[in-house]
Structure 1
Amino acid sequence: MKTVFVAGATGYLGRHLCRAYRERGWRVHALVRSKSRPDLPLADLHIQAEATRPETLRGVMAGADLVISALGITRQRDGLTYRDVDYQANLNLLQEALHVGVPHFAYVHVLNAGRMPEVPLVAAKSAFVRALQGAAIRSTVIAPSGYFSDMGDFFAMAEAGRIWLFGDGQLRINPIHGADLALACAEAIDAGRDWIDIGGPDILSHTELAQTAFAALRQPARITRLPDWLRRAALAVVPHVTPSHISGPTQFFLTAMGQDMVGEPHGTRHLSDHFAALAVGEQPS
């Protein structure tokens, strides 16, 4: 039986990765910061360690056939920066994998990273990808367009009665459900792909995305389109007037909103169903 070591196992995608590999017959070792938390991911073994502290990682990957890291922060906390986690903590994982001879390391990146070098979150991830690709290990980089869970901001605006868009609303995105992404990751790794841009099955313009949220709420679509120069102006100002835990995700969101975010379509789950579940108060997986 093969063994996969999952870092970032308690996050949205990490939980789906643990489940997907269990269902594929792999032994799953999940890295967690604390074994005492009540919502541990599905795994054969929970390994308590902190990727930001390399001394806690010694030996934890011994015998693993594959390491998958979905480790990263979307909102800075505990005084940690994107450089601390998205770059250095993943580098710590990579160095330990190399030390114990793990043959394959997969990493969850972000789509269109090359077009967002000025965004701190993306810059940290890209720095790690360069280190991974230069290391003496087989690697797979998975770059998703966005998760269903990320679309909650659109749904929240719809619930408040109006969705605000930039430009003409015709830029496109195909976000993907975590379970579909986990399966696509496993298939890409099995196929020996070194890089894959991944999205969900439905390619939607921002206007269509907004309309989907209102349709789930059974409300008329109230959409206001703002000139795109306001988005660009906000990008220039936000880092100087907000703390990093706010400016970081805001910079990423505003930058991503200014381009198509469309990956290779995968999966069977639809955003309309996700929004419909939210509309009736269900907590989607």
Structure 2
Amino acid sequence: MKTNSVLVAGATGYLGRHIVKQYMSMGWNVRALVRKSEAARASGLIATELFEGEATNPSTLCGAMDGVDLVISALGITRQRDGLTYWDVDYQANANLLADALAANVERFAYVHVLNAHKMQNVPLVAAKQAFVDRLQAAPIQSTVIAPSGFFSDMGDFLNMAAAGRVYLFGSGHLKLNPIDGADLAEAIAGAIRDERDYVPVGGPEVLTQDELAEVAFEAIGKPAKIVHLPDVLRRATLKILPFVTPSTAHGPALFFLSALGMNMVGEAYGQKRVSDHFAELRTPTSERAVSDSMTSPAADSLS
């Protein structure tokens, strides 16, 4: 019996690790693209094979696609570093992987995108991702684009504000979101690929308003809810001013999060884990540091 083989790019990131674990549990041959095998093993990444290479450098990818049926890319950056931009990684690195997949006649290429990307075209992080999606969907390969509403790991700021005594929100607090757990998202990705879906907007099982999310955070730390609603005009003004007063390494992720806070971010409900479960885990000493270290955008934060 033939064993299916998948290459996971961004395998050392928050979501990439869950994708690797999901496909290992399904009995697939999992080739994880990593920059340094020794560091990946030390971090606890377990895959059938670790392939050393950097998607930003095509010359290091020779052989990465050999025998591969499927490529899943959770490759991207939240905070620009090492002199690399969103266009270097979220667009060009993924384009390099796509070119190799086409040359190797890989059957399907799946990519983790962002929900409501069409409403955030002025955000550099999102623009780079959307440019790659456009290229992917025009390429002669089967594709699946998964657009998460947000990760649980993005919700830590609500808990941090609650712990400090107040949660600050822009506007009325009635906008809705349904962030999803990383393991649930990896399972949803596998299902979307299995079902050969082209585009999947996905979120967690629980739709909350921003006010309700803040209340869940206060409940997790056992404090009475104190929510401050700031005029939304401040958020919109900040979006315009930030690029002129801060370096791209600072305003890049801020522009994305501020934009997402100004709209409903609700995808197809999937999974079992609720935000309250995640907040409870964050409040335990053994998990607090690990989850903090994995803070990421609804895409990924790995350059593998």
Q: Same fold per TM (> 0.5)?
A: yes
User: Which runs of no fewer than 5 residues in structure 1 stay unpaired?
Assistant: none
Name the structure 1 match of 2:192: 188
Q: Aligned partners of 2:162, 2:78: CA distance in 1, in Å? A: 23
Percent of pairs identical after alignment?
Answer: 59
Q: Aligned partners of 1:221, 1:12: CA distance in 2, in Å? A: 30
**Within the alignment, does 1:87 sit opposite 2:91 as a pair?**
yes
Name the structure 2 match of 1:245: 249
Q: Which of 226, 230, 240 lines up with 1:222 in the alignment?
A: 226
Deviation of 1:40 after TM superposition, in Å, equals 4.6
Deviation of 1:41 after TM superposition, in Å, equals 1.9
What SS does the aligned partner of 1:14 have? Answer: helix
Q: Aligned partners of 1:161, 1:33: CA distance in 2, in Å? A: 41
User: Which runs of no fewer than 5 residues in structure 2 stay unpaired?
Assistant: 292-304
What SS does the aligned partner of 2:285 have? Answer: coil
Q: Aligned partners of 2:56, 2:136: CA distance in 1, in Å? A: 17
- Deviations for 1:207-235, whole angstroms, at most 9, x for unmatched residues? 00000001000001111000000000000
Name the structure 1 match of 2:301: none
- Deviations for 1:94-113, whole angstroms, at most 9, x for unmatched residues? 00001111110000000000
Which gives a bigger RCO, structure 1 or 2 (Cα 8 Å, sep 6+)?
Answer: 2
Name the structure 2 match of 1:25: 27
- Deviations for 1:217-261, whole angstroms, at most 9, x for unmatched residues? 000111100000000000000111111111000000000000000
What SS does the aligned partner of 1:105 have? Answer: strand
Q: Aligned partners of 1:162, 1:170: CA distance in 2, in Å? A: 17
- Deviations for 1:63-88, whole angstroms, at most 9, x for unmatched residues? 10100000000000100000000000
Q: Aligned partners of 1:179, 1:278: CA distance in 2, in Å? A: 16
Q: Aligned partners of 1:102, 1:273: CA distance in 2, in Å? A: 38
Deviation of 1:282 after TM superposition, in Å, equals 3.7
Q: Aligned partners of 1:126, 1:218: CA distance in 2, in Å? A: 41
What are the within-5 Å matches in structure 2 for residues 243-282 of structure 1?
243-282=247-286
Deviation of 1:199 after TM superposition, in Å, equals 0.1
Q: Which of 120, 125, 138 lines up with 1:121 in the alignment?
A: 125
Query: Runs (4+) of structure 1 moved beyond 4 Å?
Result: none
TM-score scaled by length of structure 2: 0.92
Q: Which of 108, 113, 137 lines up with 1:109 in the alignment?
A: 113
TM-score scaled by length of structure 1: 0.99
Q: Contact 1:59–1:100 at 8 Å: present in 2 too?
A: no
Name the structure 2 match of 1:168: 172
What are the within-5 Å matches in structure 2 for residues 32-47 of structure 1?
32-37=34-39, 38-47=42-51
What SS does the aligned partner of 2:37 have? Answer: coil
Q: Aligned partners of 1:88, 1:154: CA distance in 2, in Å? A: 33
Q: Aligned partners of 2:263, 2:99: CA distance in 1, in Å? A: 34
